[in-house]
Each structure stands twice: as C-alpha cells, then as structure tokens.
Amino acid sequence: MGKGRVLGYLPAMEAEQPADLEPGPPLEARATAEPPAVLEARELVRIYGAIRAADGLSLTVRDGDIYGFLGRNGAGKTTAIRMFMGIIRPDAGTIAIRGEVSKRLSLRHKQQIGYVAQEQHFYPWMTCRALGDFVAGLYPSWDDQEFERLLRAFDLPADRKSSELSQGMRVKLALALAIAPRPPLLILDEPTAGLDPVARREFLEIVRHQVRTSGQTVFFSSHLMDEVERIADRVGIIERGRLVFEGTLTLLRESVRRVGPFEVPTSPPPGLSALPAAIGGTTWVGPPEAWAAYPELSSETLGLDDIFIALVGRTSG
C-alpha cells in the first residue's frame, strides 16, 4: 500500500479521488456550507539537508474549529507550526491567514495568532504581570482586564517570577499570554508535553472552556489520540511531512476499519485500500461511501489509537 493511495481518498484531496468512487457532494456546495478558513496552508515544503520536514503539506483550519494536528514524533508537526508562525520560511508553498496569502507571515498576521510553545522559555526575572506588560506592548489588541481575569481564573500568582512557577503553571501562563490579545487563532504546539495527567486534563478543560466562551479557533498539535478525542472536532494526521488524513473524527472512524473476522477477501475492492498490518488483522481505508458500496463486507470499527497506528505505523518497518 503506497502513501499515494491512502492520500487518494482523503476528503481534502478530492481532486485525486479514484474515478471509480462514487462522487461526494460538489466541492462548491461544501465550500458554501463550511465556515471561512482562518489558516490555510498549500503545498508547503521545507527541507533540512536530506530531510524533507514538510513535503507538500496542505491543510485548512476553519473558523471555530478545534483542529487536532496529529503525528508521530518527527513527523513534521513543529516544522509546520513554525512555518505557520512565520518563524521559518517555507522553501515552497503558501500560507493564508484569514484569506491573506503570503509565503511568510508578516508581524500583522502574527498579531492575529496566540501561540503556546512546547516548552516555555519566559524571561526568568519577569513576574507573571511583567510578562503580561511586555507581551501587551507587542499586540495592539491586548486586553489587560482579560489577562488579569485569566491570571485569577488559572490561579496564577501575578507577582511571582516566572522562574518560580511549576511546569503546569508555566503552561497556563503561556495560555493566558496567548489568549489575552484575543487573537482569532490559537496555535498550541504540543502544550501538554511534560505535564502530569492531572495538569494535562486541567489544561485541556481550560482550552475547551475558553473556546466555547470566546469562539476562538484552536489549532493544536499532539501525538496523543486521547487528547484529540477529548477536545478536537477536526483532525489532520501528518506523516513524513505530508497530511495523510484531514476531516472530522467521525469521518476518521468511518474511514478506517478492520475487515473480517470471518471472510476476508484477498484484496480490497475498488475504492478501498489496504493498510499494513500494524495493529494486527486486515485493515482497509476508504471513504464511507466506498464502505457503503459493499454491504456484504463484514468489518468492525477501530479505536482512535488503532486508527492512528494503522495510518502512520506503516512506515515503522
């Protein structure tokens, strides 16, 4: 099973769908039904020596999405986010923030993004409030009251130096600093890495609550399926710098299924593709319409962890 065939069925790549599949709704019809894109990446390429960290990466984050960006370690998540943040420039491709296309983000674009990095490297001599004052000078839309409210809500001591905060508090402070400018888009780069399970769950709850109350769009990366399942409504799965799936969690569940257990055909019928046996058994992938076209085929749904492993684990061997 080649990567191209997996990509072939993806909703984000309808143009590449095999001709024998039943067509879904027209693209135009979907576009009119969907909210506008806040972040749109097209064919991003970034090469480090012999490594293609991004290899034609395309994805769309729509207004109001909580977009889970999944991938194994080294799949290219952080490179992609650094390109979205304008920290590094893609070798090819474009990025559009709210429809404004550019190869590299301007500062005006960056002011529309709140960012929480994987590790927090605050100025150790600054207190939480001083950090707020410093960041406030960089965002015209900074809401001081909101920041104070967040400090209280997150139970953060305003006058304590950042070097004296625990890891969990530092992440919450980073989130407060990202939210206070009221940016339309929040980008979180594996924000829960390094947190204990309690702190992780608390952080995710804060994010979910924040999104519900403010209506912000959230793009967050992770390699933990349960995190994504907890808060995301759309996911993108990246592997070797390319997106191998983009869509809702429901679509993901319906697309990847284990065939059997009684009669397993030797090869998948048209519209479906076989995945390597990374999780045991025979796993096929295809759009729900393709699965529906073969009612005689017995299959079972998989847990999200198994789906993730089935999709990206194929390269492990």
Partner 1 sequence: MMLHLMKKDLREHAGSWLILLLLQSALLGAHSYQATQFADDHSRLLILPRVELLFLPILSHLLGHQLFTVELRTRTILFLEGLPVSRAQAYVGKLLLGLLVGVGFMATAYGWLIYFTHLVQPVDLRLALDVAARAGAVALLILSVGLLAAVLGRFRIPLYLALLVAAGLYANGGGEPTELGPFALLIRGFGTTTDQLPLTSLFGTLAAAMVATIVSGIILTMREGSVAILLGERMRHSEKVGVAAVLLSIAAMAALLAEHRPKEPFRFKEDGVVSRRGLHSSVSIQSRTLSSTTSRQLLERSTGLLELLAERLDIDQLPPLFLAGDPGRDPGTFERATLNKKDGVLIRAALDAEHRAPADLLVFAATELLDRHTRGRARLEALGWLREAYPFWLAEPDATLAWRRAIYAADRGFGPKDLDRWHQVEESLGRPIARGLAWSLLQTIAERSGPAAVDRLAKVTLGAPVSPWLWRSLAMNRAGNDGLLVREAQLNLDQLELAWQEAIQRERSAQQAILATIPKLDGEVRVEAPTSLSRRIHYQLALEPAPPEARFFLLWKPLYVLNDPLDEASLERSSFEVAATKGTLSRSFSAGSNLFVAFAMVVPALGCEVRFGAQRWVLP
The span of 111-119, 201-209, 219-227, 283-291 binding partner 1 (CB under 8 A) equals 111-119
The residue within the footprint of partner 1, chosen from 85, 153, 158, 193 (CB under 8 A), is: 85
The verdict on 115 binding partner 1 (CB under 8 A) reads: yes
Long-range contacts of 195-198 (CB under 8 A, 24+ apart): 195/167, 195/168, 195/171, 196/168
Binding of residue 170 to partner 1 (CB under 8 A): no
Is the Cβ of residue 135 or residue 285 nearer to partner 1 in the bound state? 135
Taking the C-alpha atoms of residue 317 and residue 196, their distance in angstroms, rounded to an integer, is 31
* Spatial separation of the C-alpha atoms in residues 280 and 283, rounded to whole Å: 8
Q: How far is CA 232 from CA 195, 221, 260, in A?
A: 19, 10, 30
**Is residue 110 involved in binding partner 1 (CB under 8 A)?**
yes
Peptide bond into 270 cis (omega under 30): no
CB atoms closer than 10 angstroms to residue 138:
11
Taking contact as CB under 8 A, which single stretch among the options 102-110, 206-214, 220-228, 294-302 is the one that binds partner 1?
102-110
The backbone torsions φ and ψ at residue 98, rounded to the nearest 5 degrees and listed phi first, read 50, 45
Asked if 167 is part of the footprint of partner 1 (rule: CB under 8 A), the reply reads no
- The region of 31-39, 80-88, 232-240, 296-304 touching partner 1 under the rule CB under 8 A is 80-88
DSSP SS3 for 300: strand
Piece of the chain touching partner 1 by CB under 8 A; list 21-29, 87-95, 242-250, 306-314:
87-95
Please provide the DSSP assignment of 86-110 as one string: TSS--SEEEEEETTEEESS--HHHH
* Binding of partner 1 by 67 (CB under 8 A): no
Binding string, residues 119-158; x marks residues near partner 1 by CB under 8 A:
xxxxxxx--------xx-xxx-------------------
By beta-carbon proximity to partner 1, the closer residue of 123 and 250 is 123
- Output 106 or 166, the one with its CB closest to partner 1: 106
Residues that bind partner 1 (CB under 8 A): 85-89, 107-108, 110-111, 115-117, 119-125, 134-135, 137-139
